[in-house]
A = this chain, B = another copy of it.
Amino acid sequence: VIRELAIVGVGLLGGSVAKAARAAGLARHIVGIGRDRSRLEPALRDGALDRATTDLSEGVRDAELVVLAAPVLANERLLREVWPVVAADAIVTDVGSTKVGIVSVAETLARSRSIDFVGSHPMAGSDRAGYGVARADLFQGASVIVTPAGGTDDRALKRVTAFWEAVGARVTALAPDVHDRVVAAVSHLPHLVAFALVDAVKRFEPTAVGFAARGFKDTTRVAAAEPAVWRDILLANRAALAQSVDAFREALASLETLIAAGDADQLEAALVGIKQEREAIR
């Protein structure tokens, strides 16, 4: 059992960490830290938090585990503030969707003070945001990627892994750069493409949205994702994302070439291959 768990940012993910840890009895004391006191009240009232504060230093000072749950670029800033004020034996993790950036910040900070940081990315979420949609079972059956790097302490990695497993997640370890490529491929690129698709319809034929059926709605569902969260993710993972966009552009151009050439056989063969790839994902 964790003596004190501090969660910085009590929205969908941070709030779900609090609720899940509470439900599983993983922490004796849970502290929520946020910029706006009134936004922390609901989690205090329903018992997910024992204490709430807007003072970051004071909030994390006695924590055994600190979870950073703000948008990814904010997490990097918060890590710099948290690092000098946590206890020497504290473990810090985060729930951000990109990992090369924050792991490199941690490596730099570790040169002046040795604190255990382990990057985490729970691949669970919602297109809605805020504590109101947080759930104790958000991580049940979800995939969590942890991203040990050269300097990561093995015991800290095991404790963070055990924490996610205790709230029901399947945990996989990937190097930070592999993680960022993986999420660029299956999450950030699809979001970027969905954003562009919604914008394209407006540019090309605005009246068409009145005829949008299930196909369009499914394909663009993620385009309603939280702008402040996705602004940070797209910026933080821009290197891997740009490479994935190049691959996407090549794939699109290859289909366009077959269409323009009227090559029915090759086009059908390409669509058969894609259908098989897609159906292999369950």
Give A contacts to B, CB under 8 Å.
Answer: 73, 123-125, 142-143, 145, 172, 181-187, 189-205, 207-209, 211-213, 215-228, 230-232, 234-235, 238, 241-245, 247-248, 250-252, 254-256, 259-260, 262, 264, 267-268, 270-275, 277-281
Q: Is B209 a contact partner of A280 (Cβ separation < 8 A)?
A: yes
Q: Is A197 a contact partner of B187 (Cβ separation < 8 A)?
A: no
A213 / chain B contacts, CB cutoff of 8 Å: 123-124, 142-143, 186-187
For residue A262, give the distance in angstroms from its CB to the closest CB of chain B.
Answer: 6
Q: Is A221 a contact partner of B218 (Cβ separation < 8 A)?
A: yes
> Which residue from B196, B222, B251, B268 sits with its C-beta under 8 Å from A248?
B196
Interface pairs (19), CB distance under 8 Å: A123-B211, A181-B204, A182-B205, A182-B211, A185-B208, A186-B212, A197-B248, A199-B251, A200-B244, A200-B251, A209-B277, A218-B222, A219-B222, A221-B278, A227-B275, A234-B255, A241-B259, A242-B256, A242-B259
A100-B189 Cα distance, complex, nearest whole Å: 33
Taking CB as reference atom, which chain B residue is nearest A208?
A: B185
A67-B213 Cα distance, complex, nearest whole Å: 22
A216 / chain B contacts, CB cutoff of 8 Å: 186-187, 190, 281
Asked whether A254 and B199 contact (CB < 8 A) given A212-B281, A227-B271, A267-B234, the answer is: yes
A195 / chain B contacts, CB cutoff of 8 Å: 251, 255, 270-271, 274
Interface of A is mostly: helix
Q: Is A192 a contact partner of B224 (Cβ separation < 8 A)?
A: no
A190-B211 Cα distance, complex, nearest whole Å: 13
A270 / chain B contacts, CB cutoff of 8 Å: 195, 199
For residue A152, give the distance in angstroms from its CB to the closest CB of chain B.
Answer: 20
Q: Is A247 a contact partner of B200 (Cβ separation < 8 A)?
A: yes
Q: Is B278 a contact partner of A235 (Cβ separation < 8 A)?
A: no
A217 / chain B contacts, CB cutoff of 8 Å: 281
For residue A85, give the distance in angstroms from its CB to the closest CB of chain B.
Answer: 27
A211 / chain B contacts, CB cutoff of 8 Å: 123, 143, 145, 172, 182-183, 186
> Which residue from B231, B244, B274 sits with its C-beta under 8 Å from A271?
B231
Q: Is B234 a contact partner of A259 (Cβ separation < 8 A)?
A: yes
Q: Is A190 a contact partner of B220 (Cβ separation < 8 A)?
A: yes
> Which residue from B187, B198, B272, B274 sits with its C-beta under 8 Å from A199?
B274
A192-B193 Cα distance, complex, nearest whole Å: 11
A122-B225 Cα distance, complex, nearest whole Å: 30
For residue A260, give the distance in angstroms from its CB to the closest CB of chain B.
Answer: 7
Q: Is A193 a contact partner of B191 (Cβ separation < 8 A)?
A: no
